[in-house]
Structures are given as C-alpha cells and as structure tokens.
Amino acid sequence: MTVLTSAGVADTDQRASATDRLLNLVTRYGLSAFGPIAVSGAHFVASIVFLHAFSRSDFGLFSFLLVIVPFCLSLNGALLGPSITSRDAKSGMTVAEDTGMHLKISLVFALAASVAVFLLTLTIRAQPELAAILGCYGGMMTLRWVGRCYAYRHHRPLRAVSSDFAYSAVVVVATVTLSMLHQLTAMYAAIILFGAAASGLIVFGRDYLARQFWPGRDGSLRAYGLVWRDMTRWSLMGVALTEITANAHAYLVTLISGPGAFALLAIGTLLMRPVSLVYAALPDVERPAIARAIAAGDHARAFRIVKEFRTAVGAMWVATVLAASTILIWFPHLVLKNGYGQGQALTVAAFFAAIMAVRAVRTPESVFLQAAREYRPLARASLWSSLVSLVATLLLLLAAGPIASLGGILAGEALMTVNILALSRRWRASHG
C-alpha cells in the first residue's frame, strides 16, 4: 500500500510539474507574442484600409515603408540588443555609464534611420513633405524599440506589451475613423503612423523619456568602440546580410519597377505579417534567457528553450497560413480589389508561406547562436546566401517579372538555413 501510495504521489507531482511547465510556456509566449500580434493586427487593418483607399502606387509606397522600417528595427536590435542583454560581460563600466552609452547610440541611430527612410521614400517618388514625415516615423519607431529592449532587460514585459498596444490602438482607431469619414490620404496616414509610434514611446514613462532624449554625462559614444569591435559589428553585418537574403525582392522590385509593381507582392507580405512579426519579436524575449542558461553552463536548459521557441513559431506559422488561405479562397474581397488577380495573389501567398516555413526552422537556431555570441560565424554563414538571394532575385525579376523574383528569396533563405543548422550542430557537438 505504501509503495502504491508513493507511486501515486509521484505521478501526481509529475503531472503537476508538467502542467506548471505548460502553463509557464503558454504564459511566456502568450505575453511576449501579444504585443507583436497586436502590432501585426494593426498593420494588417491599416494595410487593408490603405489597399482599398489608395492608388496602387501609394499602397506600394506604404507597403515598402513596412519593409524598410522593420529593417531599421533589426539593425537597431543588432547594434544595441546583444550588448544590452549581456551587460554583465562588460567590465569596468557602471550601470549608469552603460545605459547612457546605449541611449546616446540609440539617438544617433534614430537620426540615421530617419534620414535613410526619408531618402528611400523620396527615391521612389514620394512627395518631400510625405517622405519627411515617414522619415520621422522610422526614427521614432527605432527609439520605441530601444524602450522595449530595456523593458525586457529589466524584466518588465508588461511595459513593452503596453507600448505595443498603445501603438496598435492609435493606428487602428485613427485609420478606421478617417476612412469612415472619407478623409484618409497618404499624408494623414503618415501622420497617424508617426503619432502611434510617439504614443508607444510615451508609455515607457517620464523618467525613461527624460533619460532617452537627454542621456546626460554618463557613458559616451567612444566607449561603444569596444562593444562594436567585439560584438556588434558582426551582429550588424549578419542582420544586413539576412535582410538582403529575405527582402531583396522588395528593394529590387520597388526601385526598378516602382511601388506599383511591389503592391501585388505586398499582399503576400501583408498576409504573412503575423508570423513575421513574431519571428522578429520573440528573440528579444528568448535571447537573454538562452544567454543566461549558456553562461550558467546549463546547456540542456538552453536547448529546451530553443525547442520551445521552435514549437511556438511553428504553431504561429500554421495559424497564419490557415488564416491567409481562408481569406484568399473564401473572402478574397477583403484583400483584393480591381487590378489584383486572385490566382496571382494565391501564387504570391504560396511563395511567402514557403519562405516563412524555411525561416521558422532557421530563426530559433539563429537566436541560439546569437546568445552564444557566435556573431562572426553567423555573419559568414549569411554571406553566400545573401549573394544567392540578390543575384537570383535580380535575374528572375528581369527574366520573368516580380512574382517569379520570389524564387530567389526562397533559394537564399534555404541556403542560409542549411548553413545555420550546420553551425548549430557544430556548436552543440563541441560543447557537449
């Protein structure tokens, strides 16, 4: 009887432990994914409204904006994210000096992002006033992203989620309201996006904002040199090469054929936006956790986080593909209007679903290697894939048109995934 009772208690404890782990997993990913999903939903609603309210050229312009601004956020994350999350690895610098250094770098980068977005949108024939507001939006979004990084760094995920929610609410409410009043224009849309980004930044509070815009004497731009040399130059290179691999079609099609030609491809980007934003946001949560596990020598825990990460992105991919298929097959009028064929849209969506599937395999392993500080090997792994993506996309675009150019992106993504999986296997083998 005693043996049976003990066994029963053990089984109950194991079930309770498994339930607790499942609840913790759902809570962690649910909370971290809620913000990006809210932003994704807001962009989806806004893009649907833009699709029906704007000309094909203006819709292509705003779709291109939602490619280049996330690229700025990725560059910002590469420039600041790794060093923020591994602050303890830097000796001889106080917390105040470290924070001041990062906030000063973030201001410089925000200015650079504003100028880059302004020049790119001006290049594709946006009006100067419109391009200026879009540039300010790009800079404000990078500052908001830094605020999110610090919120996660200081274990305040609710603050980051609140920022995402505030941004999303302003985008949806303002866009829908102006659309219903038949007052929505490209200029008003740009103002809405800028106002939403500013609202999301304000959520981080007066103290943070005062420090963000006036970092004070603590820290210096010069102090960042050591961080740049040891860490972030390689992560920045990796992000830039990854962007070439993933979005060469957006830049080549828009710059060569114009924003109107990119508009059809943007429908595929629009439908896959939920999963792409989760791919971009979850690393901010998981990279520090994996880094802590590796630093503690608990490789089993680090591998378990990667496995959970892969499960989460896989589930999001399935949900996104099912939703996209449902919309295009049974409710095409939601995302298509005159000039956008259903057959073409399905082909574009299929390409993007395949691209995102490959990316779902790669992203958790890439984040693991970033946490393990393998920035240089990651950058090198991205080099050949970026060249393949760029050359193949350009050749397919010139030979067969914009839709076929997505084949170049798929080829580059596949090669990058193979390279990163090989790197991950080698790291695991060498570290037990």
What is the reported pLDDT for 33?
66
**Contact yes or no for 59/257 (Cβ under 8 A):** no
**401: three-class secondary structure by DSSP:** coil
Angstrom distance (rounded) from CA 28 to CA 258: 42
Alpha-carbon 308 to chain mean position? 19
Query: Beta strands of 286-403 (E only): which ranges?
Result: none
Angstrom distance (rounded) from CA 6 to CA 28: 32
317, containing H or E segment: helix 299-330
What is the reported pLDDT for 89?
45
Q: Percentage of the chain surpassing pLDDT 70?
A: 89
CA atoms within 13 A on the CB side of 98: 19
What is the reported pLDDT for 292?
86
**Which residue, 241, 235, 237, is CA-closest to 413?**
241
**Contact yes or no for 206/100 (Cβ under 8 A):** no
Q: Specify the residue for token string 């070439």.
A: 244
- String of DSSP letters for 119-183: HHHHHTT--HHHHHHHHHHHHHHHHHHHHHHHHHHTT-HHHHHHHHHHHHHHHHHHHHHHHHTT-
Domain boundaries, the chain: 22-430
Ranges of the chain whose pLDDT falls below 70: 1-33, 85-92, 281, 284, 338-339, 432
121 phi, psi to nearest 5 deg:
-70, -30
What is the reported pLDDT for 277?
72
